Amino acid sequence: MSPYADVAHLMKGRTIARIVYDAETIAGRVRELGAEIGAAYPEGDLLVLGLLKGSFIFLSDLVRQIPRPLQVDFLVATSYGNETVSSGLVRLVYDPETVLEGKHILLVEDIIDSGRTLNRLVDLLGVRRPKSLEICALLHKRLTPDLRLDAKFVGFDAPHEFLVGYGLDHAEDFRQLPFVASLAD
């Protein structure tokens, strides 16, 4: 029996090529990241800022593993509009209501690939004068040398495949899978 046979009904006729990171591996790495983040921020106000939608599952597991007081907020950014290719122009659809000035800001992302959105967000958040700004990503494809701010905390280096599960989607599907997998063509 395949390790993902119990989720076959969730796949909408698509096939998983392989499970890249299983649920147990992800949970273990999230625990480690929580400890690393807690140690990196021994004092001061910490705001964990999730980039929706992809980060929501990772962020919810992560904040429960950070052994210190913190606040959580979200932002939504888009660079696609109604197109299938990024315009390169990033627009905040939902802007965090929390004051950023003077706080340690940890921007949580599901996956870093081209870096366009992340670069623009670093600029937008930086002008709000946080005490510090760092990035935590579940997955990093290491595709671009042009990141203005590389992730300080990374769960896993990601293969150059289209990945779904644990918050990552394909046309809004597959976010609820308990693992990260690549889709078969």
Find the catalytic residue in 45, 73, 110, 113: 113
Q: Does the model's pTM come out above 0.75?
A: yes
What are 138-180's pLDDT values in tens digits? 999 988 888 889 999 999 999 999 899 999 988 888 999 999 9
What are 10-45's pLDDT values in tens digits? 555 677 889 999 999 999 999 999 999 999 999 999
Q: What percent of the chain has pLDDT over 70?
A: 83
Judge contact between 113 and 51, C-beta under 8 A: no
Tell me the DSSP string of 109-131.
EEEESS-HHHHHHHHHHHTT--S
Distance CA 90, CA 93 (A): 9
The residue whose two tokens read 């949580």 is 108
Active site residue 150: no
- Strands (DSSP E) along 102-145, which ranges? 104-112, 132-140
- Strands (DSSP E) along 53-114, which ranges? 71-78, 91-94, 104-112
Distance CA 171, CA 26 (A): 23
User: Which pLDDT belongs to residue 21?
Assistant: 97
* First-last CA distance in the chain: 22
Helix axes 23-40, 56-63, angle to 10 degrees: 60
- Pairing assessment for the beta strands 71-78 and 91-94 based on DSSP bridges: antiparallel
Beta bridge partners of 103: none
Q: Using pLDDT thresholds of 50, 70 and 90, give the confidence band for residue 1.
A: very low
Q: Using pLDDT thresholds of 50, 70 and 90, give the confidence band for residue 77.
A: confident
Residue 82 has pLDDT above 50, yes or no: no
User: Which pLDDT belongs to residue 106?
Assistant: 97
